Amino acid sequence: MSEKPVVLVTRKLPDAVEQRLSRDYVARLNPDDHQYSSDQVIELAAGADAIVPCHTERFTAEVIDRLPATVRVIANFSVGVDHVDLAAAKARGIIVTNTPDVLSDATAEVAMLLILGAARRAGEGEQLVRTRAWRDWSPAFMVGTQVTGKRLGIIGMGRVGQVVARRARAFDMEIHYHDVRRLEPEAEAGARFYATLDDLLPNCQFLTIHCPAMPGTDGLLDAGRIAQLPDGAIVVNAARGTIVDDDALTAALKSGKLAAAGLDVYRGEPDIHPAYRELSNTFLLPHIGSATHETRDAMGFRALDNLDAVFAGHEPGDRVA
């Protein structure tokens, strides 16, 4: 038998990452990038020492209980770990890691794209051009919301939230935020802190979500909280779809309570709430927050660094369970 640990990889990873995997491990790759079912993951993990999954695979308590006894590590190719039952993994003695830090810039770029795209009606405009429906110009044509100088509320002032704040300051936006703890003054850089979400919301002409998905944030932005936003506010989500109540958000977009929404993540994606596609005041992206060559390579190498540490007998730097 090979002395190298066996690693199951559930999705197609960047070439450089797979090359390193194949050099250092017995890698079970997915070259066709099939979406494996939970049963397939369990079957393919037979004899494996580790699994490198993405957020597209669900490791519920039942799935973790059925994993082969050989599996020691779940080294996620993602920063979010809401797809893994961490308590069940810990109970099984399975180490779980993620890939923080390396995707903050890329995700913040997409958040700014969503802010601008939703505010300036970019989705509608592109469709007009592509479908030859653009006929003329007038002062009333495609009028949107200006971003410069507006108040931006940030839910979750972690790594990504802080980068978004820095990028937004280039548009002279006022930064307001809520988190479970206040930043140090140097990191806050003049942003205004609110101890409760209810205090933050009335001040947000734009609201962007960057908190983690967990039981306490499921449906966090519901009808009651949307009602606290100023009329004509714009909501952006580049974190996780479960944080938003889809029915409440779509109702507010239909009624005009909200001017627009920019979304990169969705509950149940890619089978998203159908109203998002039907509404003209939504700017929609297909979960591409970390989708740059540089970031995807860095995520893969971070996951492998964690694997290397475990199999060398060291504590992985990004352990979450």
Listed by start position, the domains of the chain span 6-102+293-311, 104-284
- The residue from 66, 174, 269, 319 that is catalytic is 269
- Alpha-carbon Rg of the chain, whole angstroms? 21
Q: Of 179, 170, 125, which Cα lies nearest the Cα of 148?
A: 170
Task: Report the alpha-carbon distance of residue 5 to residue 311 in Å, rounded.
Answer: 8
Burial class (CB in 10 A: 0-12, 13-18, 19+), 128: middle
Task: Report the alpha-carbon distance of residue 85 to residue 103 in Å, rounded.
Answer: 23
- The residue from 20, 240, 273, 302 that is catalytic is 240
Between the two ends of the chain, the Cα-to-Cα distance in Å is: 30
* 240 is annotated as an active-site residue: yes
* 225 is annotated as an active-site residue: no
CATH 3.30.70.640 fits 6-102+293-311, yes or no: no
* 287 is annotated as an active-site residue: yes
- The residue from 176, 210, 287, 302 that is catalytic is 287
Please determine whether the domains at 6-102+293-311 and 104-284 fall in the same fold group of CATH: yes
- Per-residue pLDDT tens digits of the chain, which is 321 residues long: 458 999 999 999 999 999 999 999 999 999 999 999 999 999 999 999 999 999 999 999 999 999 999 999 999 999 999 999 999 999 999 999 999 999 999 999 999 999 999 999 999 999 999 999 999 999 999 999 999 999 999 999 999 999 999 999 999 999 999 999 999 999 999 999 999 999 999 999 999 999 999 999 999 999 999 999 999 999 999 999 999 999 999 999 999 999 999 999 999 999 999 999 999 999 999 999 999 999 999 999 999 999 999 999 999 999 999
Say if CB 262 and CB 234 are below 8 A apart. yes
> Which residues does residue 319 pair with via DSSP β-bridges, in sequence order?
97
Class of domain 104-284: alpha beta
